[in-house]
Structure 1
Amino acid sequence: MMNKKMLALSIFLFGILGTLNLAKAQTTDNKIQEVIINSGDGFGELRKLLKDNFDFTNQDYKEGVVNSNVRFSLSENGKITNVSANGDCKNVSKELENVLTHLLYKVNMDKISQKMVASSYVMPVSVTIDNR
């Protein structure tokens, strides 16, 4: 039953907003304040961890495609901080926040290109919840 649920429920992390501008604003020191994360940007491992740790068993999730934007910051050593999610289903957003907040993971800052260094990041997330 669990395998069937896991197959029926899937999470797709994608950069749907990749065609938009990467930066919303720049400060005087040329550090980008906010970056929208899209595919091929060095955050692939984080996307996989989010998918692998997402709890698909919650019966309170809205069925269908649930879109969310997850905002977070990175500390100097790559730890994920200041996580907030906003989307079509408050329970999915809450789970996304929970997963990212509790990950024992640090982003490898050496793998992030200079143009991706930002004060905060936005990761578009789409979760597909099929009929139960």
Structure 2
Amino acid sequence: MRTPNSIEKVKRKLADSPYRSSKRLSRELQLSRTTVRRILVDDLNLFSYKIQILQKQSTVQKEKRLTFGKLVAGKVEKKEIDIGNINCSDEAHFQLSGYVNKQNMRIWGEEKPDPLDSKL
């Protein structure tokens, strides 16, 4: 039930950690997932953002990527590369410090976080 008390509880929990899922919040606060979701979106005006893992690129790196892209596109046009054999995946990100599954990693906030922010 969306009461001022339950809204305040959700707000306090998210202040501790904005990375909590609505499923985890509902379990911790003993509220239904629908109630928690409505509180997050309708009452607190928050959105769930997927974490983006990016790196800054120099001008030289950007030029190399563009050159490579044009080279591959040319080979695809000339039928030197079968596009059906190209497999791209972005399901998970691996780091030396541990495993990060980006598919399940979200952050609740009023605006989209900066992906190049070192705190994320």
Whether the TM-score (by the shorter chain) exceeds 0.5 is no
TM superposition score normalised by structure 2: 0.23
TM superposition score normalised by structure 1: 0.22
Instruction: Answer 1 or 2: which has greater helix percent.
Output: 2
Higher Rg: 2
Instruction: Answer 1 or 2: which has greater strand percent.
Output: 1
